[in-house]
Amino acid sequence: MTTAVQKLERRLGYHFNDAALLSQALTHRSVGHLNNERLEFLGDALVNFVVADALFRAKAKAEEGALSRLRASLVREETLARLARELDLSDALTLGESELKSGGFRRDSILADAFEAMLGAVYLDGGFAAARDVCERLFAALLADLPDADALKDAKTRLQEWLQARGRPLPRYEVIEESGPPHRRRFHVRASLSDAETVAAAHGSSRRSAEQDAARALLQALQSAHE
Amino acid sequence: MTTAVQKLERRLGYHFNDAALLSQALTHRSVGHLNNERLEFLGDALVNFVVADALFRAKAKAEEGALSRLRASLVREETLARLARELDLSDALTLGESELKSGGFRRDSILADAFEAMLGAVYLDGGFAAARDVCERLFAALLADLPDADALKDAKTRLQEWLQARGRPLPRYEVIEESGPPHRRRFHVRASLSDAETVAAAHGSSRRSAEQDAARALLQALQSAHE
Protein backbone atom coordinates (compact mmCIF):
# COMPACT_ATOMS: atom_id res chain seq x y z
CA MET A 1 0.00 0.00 0.00
CA THR A 2 1.30 3.47 -0.83
CA THR A 3 0.49 6.03 1.84
CA ALA A 4 -0.06 9.75 1.24
CA VAL A 5 3.31 10.41 2.88
CA GLN A 6 5.11 8.01 0.53
CA LYS A 7 3.46 9.68 -2.46
CA LEU A 8 4.61 13.04 -1.13
CA GLU A 9 8.20 11.78 -0.82
CA ARG A 10 8.04 10.60 -4.43
CA ARG A 11 6.81 13.99 -5.64
CA LEU A 12 9.50 15.71 -3.54
CA GLY A 13 12.21 13.50 -5.00
CA TYR A 14 13.59 12.92 -1.52
CA HIS A 15 13.38 9.90 0.75
CA PHE A 16 13.67 10.59 4.48
CA ASN A 17 16.10 8.54 6.58
CA ASP A 18 14.09 9.59 9.63
CA ALA A 19 10.40 9.29 8.74
CA ALA A 20 9.43 10.91 12.06
CA LEU A 21 10.90 14.22 10.89
CA LEU A 22 8.63 14.37 7.85
CA SER A 23 5.68 13.31 9.92
CA GLN A 24 6.33 16.11 12.42
CA ALA A 25 6.68 18.62 9.58
CA LEU A 26 3.19 17.67 8.42
CA THR A 27 1.59 18.00 11.85
CA HIS A 28 -0.32 21.18 12.55
CA ARG A 29 -0.27 22.75 16.02
CA SER A 30 -3.98 21.96 16.39
CA VAL A 31 -2.89 18.33 16.99
CA GLY A 32 -0.89 19.06 20.13
CA HIS A 33 2.50 19.80 21.55
CA LEU A 34 4.57 17.85 19.00
CA ASN A 35 3.89 19.91 15.89
CA ASN A 36 5.62 21.61 12.95
CA GLU A 37 6.13 25.11 14.37
CA ARG A 38 9.84 24.78 15.18
CA LEU A 39 10.55 23.11 11.83
CA GLU A 40 8.66 25.92 10.10
CA PHE A 41 10.96 28.46 11.78
CA LEU A 42 13.98 26.60 10.40
CA GLY A 43 12.44 25.94 6.99
CA ASP A 44 11.34 29.54 6.52
CA ALA A 45 14.94 30.72 6.96
CA LEU A 46 16.21 27.97 4.66
CA VAL A 47 13.75 28.80 1.87
CA ASN A 48 14.56 32.51 2.17
CA PHE A 49 18.25 31.81 1.79
CA VAL A 50 18.00 29.27 -1.04
CA VAL A 51 15.68 31.55 -3.02
CA ALA A 52 17.95 34.56 -2.36
CA ASP A 53 20.92 32.57 -3.61
CA ALA A 54 19.06 31.34 -6.72
CA LEU A 55 17.94 34.89 -7.56
CA PHE A 56 21.43 36.29 -6.94
CA ARG A 57 22.79 33.89 -9.56
CA ALA A 58 19.86 34.11 -12.01
CA LYS A 59 19.81 37.93 -12.03
CA ALA A 60 23.47 38.93 -12.20
CA LYS A 61 22.64 42.54 -13.10
CA ALA A 62 19.70 43.11 -10.77
CA GLU A 63 20.03 45.61 -7.96
CA GLU A 64 19.37 44.71 -4.35
CA GLY A 65 15.90 46.31 -4.40
CA ALA A 66 14.83 44.24 -7.41
CA LEU A 67 16.19 41.03 -5.82
CA SER A 68 14.28 41.79 -2.61
CA ARG A 69 11.01 42.35 -4.43
CA LEU A 70 11.43 39.19 -6.50
CA ARG A 71 12.16 37.16 -3.40
CA ALA A 72 9.16 38.58 -1.55
CA SER A 73 6.94 37.49 -4.44
CA LEU A 74 8.39 33.96 -4.39
CA VAL A 75 8.32 33.29 -0.65
CA ARG A 76 5.00 34.88 0.23
CA GLU A 77 2.33 32.68 1.77
CA GLU A 78 0.17 32.55 -1.34
CA THR A 79 3.05 31.30 -3.51
CA LEU A 80 4.19 28.68 -0.98
CA ALA A 81 0.60 27.44 -0.62
CA ARG A 82 0.39 27.06 -4.40
CA LEU A 83 3.60 24.98 -4.42
CA ALA A 84 2.19 22.89 -1.56
CA ARG A 85 -0.98 22.24 -3.59
CA GLU A 86 1.07 21.14 -6.61
CA LEU A 87 2.61 18.50 -4.31
CA ASP A 88 -0.85 17.48 -2.99
CA LEU A 89 0.69 18.15 0.39
CA SER A 90 -2.72 18.49 2.03
CA ASP A 91 -3.37 14.73 1.55
CA ALA A 92 -0.48 14.07 3.93
CA LEU A 93 -1.29 16.73 6.55
CA THR A 94 -2.19 15.81 10.10
CA LEU A 95 -4.68 18.28 11.56
CA GLY A 96 -6.51 18.45 14.86
CA GLU A 97 -10.27 17.93 15.11
CA SER A 98 -11.15 21.64 14.94
CA GLU A 99 -9.03 22.32 11.85
CA LEU A 100 -10.30 19.20 10.11
CA LYS A 101 -13.89 20.37 10.56
CA SER A 102 -13.22 23.89 9.35
CA GLY A 103 -11.33 22.73 6.23
CA GLY A 104 -7.84 23.71 7.46
CA PHE A 105 -6.21 21.52 4.79
CA ARG A 106 -7.34 24.08 2.22
CA ARG A 107 -6.03 27.14 4.09
CA ASP A 108 -3.05 29.01 2.60
CA SER A 109 -1.37 29.65 5.95
CA ILE A 110 -1.47 25.98 7.02
CA LEU A 111 -0.21 24.77 3.64
CA ALA A 112 2.59 27.36 3.45
CA ASP A 113 3.74 26.61 7.00
CA ALA A 114 3.83 22.84 6.35
CA PHE A 115 5.69 23.43 3.09
CA GLU A 116 8.42 25.37 4.92
CA ALA A 117 8.50 22.84 7.78
CA MET A 118 8.94 20.02 5.26
CA LEU A 119 12.00 21.74 3.76
CA GLY A 120 13.37 22.35 7.26
CA ALA A 121 12.96 18.62 7.86
CA VAL A 122 14.83 17.76 4.65
CA TYR A 123 17.70 19.97 5.86
CA LEU A 124 17.88 18.21 9.24
CA ASP A 125 17.58 14.80 7.63
CA GLY A 126 19.88 15.18 4.63
CA GLY A 127 21.96 18.32 5.09
CA PHE A 128 22.17 21.59 3.22
CA ALA A 129 22.98 20.30 -0.27
CA ALA A 130 19.99 17.94 -0.25
CA ALA A 131 17.65 20.65 1.03
CA ARG A 132 18.88 23.15 -1.54
CA ASP A 133 18.36 20.62 -4.34
CA VAL A 134 14.78 19.87 -3.29
CA CYS A 135 14.00 23.55 -2.76
CA GLU A 136 15.43 24.63 -6.11
CA ARG A 137 13.52 21.87 -7.86
CA LEU A 138 10.24 22.97 -6.27
CA PHE A 139 10.84 26.60 -7.24
CA ALA A 140 12.29 25.79 -10.70
CA ALA A 141 9.23 26.80 -12.74
CA LEU A 142 8.85 30.08 -10.83
CA LEU A 143 12.57 30.88 -11.11
CA ALA A 144 12.46 30.22 -14.85
CA ASP A 145 9.57 32.64 -15.33
CA LEU A 146 10.28 35.57 -13.02
CA PRO A 147 8.05 38.63 -13.18
CA ASP A 148 9.42 42.04 -14.11
CA ALA A 149 10.94 43.38 -10.89
CA ASP A 150 9.60 46.88 -11.63
CA ALA A 151 6.04 45.60 -11.83
CA LEU A 152 6.42 44.36 -8.25
CA LYS A 153 6.96 47.86 -6.91
CA ASP A 154 4.06 49.21 -4.92
CA ALA A 155 1.73 51.66 -6.65
CA LYS A 156 2.88 54.78 -4.75
CA THR A 157 6.51 54.08 -5.73
CA ARG A 158 5.57 53.46 -9.37
CA LEU A 159 3.53 56.67 -9.51
CA GLN A 160 6.37 58.65 -7.91
CA GLU A 161 8.94 57.26 -10.37
CA TRP A 162 6.66 57.94 -13.34
CA LEU A 163 6.25 61.58 -12.26
CA GLN A 164 9.95 62.06 -11.43
CA ALA A 165 11.00 60.68 -14.82
CA ARG A 166 8.91 63.50 -16.34
CA GLY A 167 10.23 66.20 -13.98
CA ARG A 168 6.82 66.65 -12.41
CA PRO A 169 6.00 67.38 -8.75
CA LEU A 170 5.10 64.58 -6.33
CA PRO A 171 1.47 63.65 -5.72
CA ARG A 172 -0.42 64.65 -2.62
CA TYR A 173 -2.51 62.19 -0.59
CA GLU A 174 -5.37 63.36 1.64
CA VAL A 175 -7.84 61.49 3.79
CA ILE A 176 -11.19 62.89 2.66
CA GLU A 177 -13.22 60.90 5.15
CA GLU A 178 -12.83 58.39 7.96
CA SER A 179 -15.90 56.38 8.89
CA GLY A 180 -17.05 53.27 10.72
CA PRO A 181 -16.41 51.98 14.24
CA PRO A 182 -12.76 51.73 15.49
CA HIS A 183 -12.44 48.01 14.75
CA ARG A 184 -13.84 48.40 11.21
CA ARG A 185 -12.60 51.78 10.15
CA ARG A 186 -12.91 52.89 6.52
CA PHE A 187 -10.62 55.46 4.90
CA HIS A 188 -11.47 57.47 1.82
CA VAL A 189 -8.28 58.86 0.30
CA ARG A 190 -7.67 61.20 -2.62
CA ALA A 191 -4.47 61.42 -4.65
CA SER A 192 -3.97 64.67 -6.55
CA LEU A 193 -1.33 66.63 -8.44
CA SER A 194 -0.39 70.28 -8.13
CA ASP A 195 0.20 70.62 -11.90
CA ALA A 196 -2.85 68.85 -13.34
CA GLU A 197 -6.56 68.41 -12.85
CA THR A 198 -6.35 64.63 -12.76
CA VAL A 199 -7.34 63.17 -9.39
CA ALA A 200 -8.18 59.68 -8.18
CA ALA A 201 -9.77 58.42 -4.97
CA ALA A 202 -10.12 55.06 -3.25
CA HIS A 203 -11.61 53.47 -0.15
CA GLY A 204 -9.74 51.05 2.12
CA SER A 205 -9.64 49.51 5.57
CA SER A 206 -6.35 51.31 6.25
CA ARG A 207 -4.99 54.62 5.13
CA ARG A 208 -2.05 52.81 3.59
CA SER A 209 -4.12 50.50 1.41
CA ALA A 210 -6.45 53.32 0.32
CA GLU A 211 -3.41 55.42 -0.67
CA GLN A 212 -2.01 52.53 -2.71
CA ASP A 213 -5.30 52.07 -4.55
CA ALA A 214 -5.64 55.80 -5.19
CA ALA A 215 -2.05 55.92 -6.52
CA ARG A 216 -2.73 52.97 -8.82
CA ALA A 217 -5.87 54.63 -10.20
CA LEU A 218 -4.08 57.96 -10.69
CA LEU A 219 -1.16 56.32 -12.50
CA GLN A 220 -3.56 54.47 -14.82
CA ALA A 221 -5.39 57.71 -15.59
CA LEU A 222 -2.10 59.52 -16.33
CA GLN A 223 -0.76 56.70 -18.49
CA SER A 224 -3.92 56.37 -20.55
CA ALA A 225 -4.03 60.17 -21.06
CA HIS A 226 -0.43 59.91 -22.30
CA GLU A 227 -1.02 57.21 -24.89
CA MET B 1 53.34 44.69 4.64
CA THR B 2 50.09 43.52 6.12
CA THR B 3 47.09 45.37 4.78
CA ALA B 4 43.85 46.04 6.67
CA VAL B 5 42.15 43.46 4.46
CA GLN B 6 44.73 40.79 5.30
CA LYS B 7 44.29 41.51 9.00
CA LEU B 8 40.55 41.17 8.57
CA GLU B 9 40.97 37.78 6.87
CA ARG B 10 43.13 36.64 9.80
CA ARG B 11 40.51 37.71 12.33
CA LEU B 12 37.79 36.03 10.23
CA GLY B 13 39.78 32.81 10.08
CA TYR B 14 39.08 32.60 6.37
CA HIS B 15 41.34 33.26 3.39
CA PHE B 16 39.58 34.24 0.16
CA ASN B 17 40.46 32.48 -3.08
CA ASP B 18 39.01 35.44 -4.93
CA ALA B 19 40.22 38.61 -3.19
CA ALA B 20 37.97 40.74 -5.40
CA LEU B 21 34.89 39.27 -3.67
CA LEU B 22 36.03 40.42 -0.23
CA SER B 23 37.01 43.79 -1.62
CA GLN B 24 33.54 44.24 -3.15
CA ALA B 25 31.90 43.21 0.14
CA LEU B 26 33.77 46.04 1.86
CA THR B 27 32.81 48.69 -0.69
CA HIS B 28 29.96 51.01 0.26
CA ARG B 29 27.51 52.22 -2.38
CA SER B 30 28.86 55.77 -1.94
CA VAL B 31 31.89 54.60 -3.97
CA GLY B 32 29.93 53.83 -7.12
CA HIS B 33 28.17 51.16 -9.11
CA LEU B 34 30.35 48.21 -8.03
CA ASN B 35 29.43 48.03 -4.35
CA ASN B 36 28.33 45.59 -1.64
CA GLU B 37 24.54 45.88 -1.93
CA ARG B 38 23.94 42.61 -3.80
CA LEU B 39 26.32 40.71 -1.51
CA GLU B 40 24.52 42.19 1.48
CA PHE B 41 21.22 40.80 0.14
CA LEU B 42 22.78 37.34 -0.06
CA GLY B 43 24.66 37.62 3.25
CA ASP B 44 21.60 38.83 5.13
CA ALA B 45 19.71 35.68 4.11
CA LEU B 46 22.71 33.48 4.94
CA VAL B 47 23.16 34.97 8.42
CA ASN B 48 19.44 34.65 9.12
CA PHE B 49 19.51 30.98 8.20
CA VAL B 50 22.75 30.07 10.00
CA VAL B 51 21.60 31.82 13.18
CA ALA B 52 18.16 30.18 12.93
CA ASP B 53 19.83 26.78 12.58
CA ALA B 54 22.20 27.41 15.50
CA LEU B 55 19.31 28.51 17.74
CA PHE B 56 17.16 25.55 16.65
CA ARG B 57 19.90 23.21 17.86
CA ALA B 58 20.93 25.19 20.96
CA LYS B 59 17.36 25.56 22.24
CA ALA B 60 15.78 22.14 21.69
CA LYS B 61 12.79 22.95 23.90
CA ALA B 62 12.14 26.54 22.81
CA GLU B 63 8.94 27.37 20.99
CA GLU B 64 8.90 29.07 17.63
CA GLY B 65 8.06 32.48 19.16
CA ALA B 66 11.04 32.32 21.50
CA LEU B 67 13.36 31.28 18.64
CA SER B 68 12.10 34.18 16.53
CA ARG B 69 12.68 36.72 19.28
CA LEU B 70 16.17 35.37 20.00
CA ARG B 71 17.08 35.51 16.34
CA ALA B 72 15.78 39.07 15.97
CA SER B 73 18.03 40.12 18.85
CA LEU B 74 21.07 38.44 17.25
CA VAL B 75 20.67 39.67 13.67
CA ARG B 76 19.54 43.23 14.31
CA GLU B 77 21.67 46.04 12.97
CA GLU B 78 23.08 47.04 16.35
CA THR B 79 24.33 43.51 17.09
CA LEU B 80 25.86 43.03 13.64
CA ALA B 81 27.61 46.41 13.91
CA ARG B 82 29.06 45.35 17.27
CA LEU B 83 30.43 42.13 15.71
CA ALA B 84 31.86 44.20 12.84
CA ARG B 85 33.63 46.46 15.36
CA GLU B 86 35.14 43.44 17.14
CA LEU B 87 36.69 42.51 13.79
CA ASP B 88 37.94 46.10 13.22
CA LEU B 89 36.06 45.82 9.96
CA SER B 90 35.92 49.59 9.55
CA ASP B 91 39.70 49.70 8.93
CA ALA B 92 39.13 47.69 5.77
CA LEU B 93 36.03 49.55 4.50
CA THR B 94 36.06 51.47 1.24
CA LEU B 95 33.79 54.51 1.42
CA GLY B 96 33.04 57.34 -0.99
CA GLU B 97 34.17 60.90 -0.33
CA SER B 98 30.90 62.02 1.29
CA GLU B 99 30.72 59.07 3.70
CA LEU B 100 34.40 59.43 4.61
CA LYS B 101 33.84 63.04 5.60
CA SER B 102 30.73 62.34 7.64
CA GLY B 103 32.33 59.44 9.55
CA GLY B 104 30.44 56.65 7.77
CA PHE B 105 32.94 54.04 9.02
CA ARG B 106 31.46 54.49 12.50
CA ARG B 107 27.80 54.16 11.42
CA ASP B 108 25.92 51.03 12.54
CA SER B 109 24.06 50.61 9.25
CA ILE B 110 27.22 50.73 7.13
CA LEU B 111 29.09 48.33 9.43
CA ALA B 112 26.18 45.86 9.66
CA ASP B 113 25.67 45.86 5.88
CA ALA B 114 29.38 45.23 5.23
CA PHE B 115 29.39 42.47 7.84
CA GLU B 116 26.53 40.68 6.04
CA ALA B 117 28.11 41.30 2.63
CA MET B 118 31.39 39.82 3.86
CA LEU B 119 29.61 36.61 4.91
CA GLY B 120 27.79 36.50 1.56
CA ALA B 121 31.21 36.76 -0.07
CA VAL B 122 32.58 33.86 2.03
CA TYR B 123 29.62 31.76 0.84
CA LEU B 124 30.29 32.54 -2.84
CA ASP B 125 34.02 31.99 -2.39
CA GLY B 126 34.06 28.88 -0.22
CA GLY B 127 30.59 27.35 -0.21
CA PHE B 128 27.99 26.83 2.50
CA ALA B 129 30.03 24.82 5.01
CA ALA B 130 32.81 27.44 5.06
CA ALA B 131 30.34 30.31 5.45
CA ARG B 132 28.48 28.52 8.22
CA ASP B 133 31.74 27.88 10.08
CA VAL B 134 32.83 31.52 9.90
CA CYS B 135 29.37 32.77 10.83
CA GLU B 136 29.03 30.42 13.80
CA ARG B 137 32.48 31.40 15.03
CA LEU B 138 31.61 35.10 14.87
CA PHE B 139 28.34 34.53 16.75
CA ALA B 140 29.79 31.98 19.20
CA ALA B 141 30.00 34.30 22.22
CA LEU B 142 26.45 35.57 21.68
CA LEU B 143 25.08 32.04 21.15
CA ALA B 144 26.77 30.86 24.35
CA ASP B 145 25.17 33.65 26.38
CA LEU B 146 21.63 34.00 25.04
CA PRO B 147 19.22 36.34 26.80
CA ASP B 148 16.01 35.05 28.37
CA ALA B 149 13.56 34.78 25.46
CA ASP B 150 10.72 36.11 27.64
CA ALA B 151 12.64 39.29 28.41
CA LEU B 152 12.74 39.99 24.66
CA LYS B 153 8.95 40.20 24.44
CA ASP B 154 7.64 43.69 23.87
CA ALA B 155 6.22 45.54 26.86
CA LYS B 156 2.55 45.31 25.80
CA THR B 157 2.86 41.52 25.45
CA ARG B 158 4.59 41.19 28.83
CA LEU B 159 1.95 43.33 30.53
CA GLN B 160 -0.84 41.33 28.89
CA GLU B 161 0.69 38.00 29.97
CA TRP B 162 1.27 39.25 33.51
CA LEU B 163 -2.39 40.27 33.79
CA GLN B 164 -3.72 37.09 32.15
CA ALA B 165 -1.68 34.92 34.51
CA ARG B 166 -3.54 36.61 37.37
CA GLY B 167 -6.97 36.34 35.74
CA ARG B 168 -7.25 40.08 35.37
CA PRO B 169 -8.81 42.09 32.52
CA LEU B 170 -6.67 43.49 29.71
CA PRO B 171 -5.32 47.05 29.86
CA ARG B 172 -6.79 49.90 27.90
CA TYR B 173 -4.68 52.34 25.86
CA GLU B 174 -5.90 55.83 25.03
CA VAL B 175 -4.30 58.71 23.18
CA ILE B 176 -4.74 61.63 25.60
CA GLU B 177 -3.18 64.19 23.31
CA GLU B 178 -1.65 64.52 19.85
CA SER B 179 0.52 67.56 19.23
CA GLY B 180 3.16 68.98 16.91
CA PRO B 181 3.29 69.38 13.12
CA PRO B 182 2.54 66.34 10.89
CA HIS B 183 6.21 65.50 10.29
CA ARG B 184 7.06 65.72 14.01
CA ARG B 185 3.93 64.47 15.69
CA ARG B 186 3.96 63.68 19.43
CA PHE B 187 1.56 61.22 21.05
CA HIS B 188 0.68 61.19 24.73
CA VAL B 189 -0.78 57.81 25.63
CA ARG B 190 -2.29 56.48 28.86
CA ALA B 191 -2.49 52.80 29.85
CA SER B 192 -5.12 51.99 32.45
CA LEU B 193 -6.90 49.04 34.06
CA SER B 194 -10.60 48.55 34.66
CA ASP B 195 -9.99 46.80 38.01
CA ALA B 196 -7.38 49.08 39.63
CA GLU B 197 -6.47 52.70 40.08
CA THR B 198 -2.94 52.24 38.74
CA VAL B 199 -2.33 54.14 35.52
CA ALA B 200 0.76 55.05 33.54
CA ALA B 201 1.37 57.48 30.70
CA ALA B 202 4.10 58.09 28.17
CA HIS B 203 5.02 60.37 25.28
CA GLY B 204 6.36 59.16 21.95
CA SER B 205 6.86 60.02 18.30
CA SER B 206 4.40 57.30 17.32
CA ARG B 207 1.32 55.91 18.98
CA ARG B 208 2.96 52.50 18.99
CA SER B 209 6.11 53.56 20.83
CA ALA B 210 4.14 55.65 23.35
CA GLU B 211 1.91 52.61 24.07
CA GLN B 212 4.96 50.42 24.61
CA ASP B 213 6.47 52.89 27.06
CA ALA B 214 3.18 53.30 28.90
CA ALA B 215 2.81 49.50 29.13
CA ARG B 216 6.37 49.17 30.48
CA ALA B 217 5.71 51.82 33.14
CA LEU B 218 2.38 50.24 34.12
CA LEU B 219 3.93 46.77 34.44
CA GLN B 220 6.73 48.14 36.64
CA ALA B 221 4.19 49.89 38.85
CA LEU B 222 2.13 46.68 39.16
CA GLN B 223 5.17 44.50 39.87
CA SER B 224 6.58 46.82 42.52
CA ALA B 225 3.16 47.04 44.22
CA HIS B 226 3.11 43.21 44.21
CA GLU B 227 6.49 42.73 45.89
Domain CATH for B34:
1.10.1520.10
Residues A94 and A206 in one domain: no
pLDDT per residue as tens digits for the range A185-222: 899 999 999 888 889 999 999 999 999 999 999 999 99
Residues A103 and A203 in one domain: no
B44 in catalytic set: yes
Please state, for a pLDDT cut of 90, what percent of chain B lies above it.
79
| Structural domain ending residue among the three candidates B91, B118, B147 | B147
When divided into structural domains, chain A yields a total of: 2
| Structural domain ending residue among the three candidates B131, B147, B163 | B147
Please state, for a pLDDT cut of 90, what percent of chain A lies above it.
79
Q: How far is B219 from chain A (nearest CA, A)?
A: 26
Residue A151 has pLDDT above 90, yes or no: no
Average pLDDT of every residue of chain A: 93
3-state secondary structure of B61: coil
pLDDT given for residue A15 in this prediction: 96
The chain B residue lying nearest A70, using CA atoms, is: B41
Of A49, A63, A68, the CB nearest to B48: A49
Q: What is the mean pLDDT of residues A134-149?
A: 94
pLDDT given for residue B1 in this prediction: 53
Q: How far is A173 from chain B (nearest CA, A)?
A: 13
pLDDT given for residue A1 in this prediction: 53
B52–A63: do the CB atoms touch at under 8 Å? no
Residues A24 and A70 in one domain: yes
Residue B226 has pLDDT above 80, yes or no: no
Q: What is the mean pLDDT of residues B40-60?
A: 97
Q: Looking at this protein, which amino acid is placed at residue A56?
A: F
Residue A226 banded pLDDT, cuts 50, 70, 90? confident
Residues of B in contact with A62 (CB under 8 A): 38
| Structural domain ending residue among the three candidates B147, B162, B192 | B147
Among A41, A63, A136, the residue to mutate for chain B (most B Cβ within 10 A): A41
Residues A125 and A166 in one domain: no
Positive/negative CA dihedral, A23, A28, A31, A33: positive
Residues of B in contact with A56 (CB under 8 A): 38, 41-42
Residues of A in contact with B53 (CB under 8 A): 42, 45, 123
DSSP A171-217: PEEEEEEEES-GGG-EEEEEEE-SS-S-EEEEEESSHHHHHHHHHHH
The answer to which of A108-112, A162-166, B109-113 has the lowest mean pLDDT is A162-166
Domain that holds residue B25: 4-147
The chain B residue lying nearest A68, using CA atoms, is: B41
Helix A77-86 / helix A64-75 crossing angle, nearest 10 deg: 50
Average pLDDT of every residue of chain B: 93
Among A21, A35, A49, the residue to mutate for chain B (most B Cβ within 10 A): A49
Residues A174 and A219 in one domain: yes
Residues B125 and B91 in one domain: yes
